[in-house]
Amino acid sequence: MEQITIDIQLDPIKDGIKLPKADISRPEEHAVILGTNGKIRQISMKEARHILDQMADCGAGFIFGKSDYIAIYNQDKIFVADEEEYLVGSVLVFLRAGDVLKAIPDDEIENLLEIAMAQVDTLKAGDVCFSAMRVN
């Protein structure tokens, strides 16, 4: 099996990469599904578009704090507690660039989690405590 070899010695004539005879492609771009329990799942942009299509009549969105991350959620799942709107479940997250929804680079996932979890509160109903995300 041939290996990928990268040689950079600051010599533009000789520097380069030696590739095996295989297809070279970019890693797939991802949207993120984030649960109010802090779990995440990266999905393809194709799957994200499919989810957006299914949420055409019930979807809403909000920006996480002052970031460029936008969360799309099912507004039929909202409830009110202490005069705040909350969601338990999951949201579909993208980077927002104007009116365009973009994939989230892998190296931004930790930052996204930190920002998003700042909008998660612990609520109590009877004897049950649970995490819920503020959506307003």
- How many Å apart are CA 131 and CA 18, to the nearest integer? 50
* 3-class DSSP assignment, residue 71: strand
Res 127: pLDDT? 92
Residue 25, pLDDT above cutoff 60 = no
pTM of the full structure: 0.77
* 3-class DSSP assignment, residue 60: strand
* Tens of pLDDT, residues 47-105: 999 999 999 999 999 999 899 999 999 999 999 999 999 999 999 999 998 889 999 99
Q: Are 123 and 129 in contact (CB under 8 A)?
A: yes
Kindly list the distances between the CA atom of residue 135 and the CA atoms of 24, 65, 87, 98, 130, in Å, as whole numbers in the listed order. Answer: 41, 10, 7, 20, 16
Mean pLDDT for the stretch of residues 11-17? 80
Res 23: pLDDT? 55
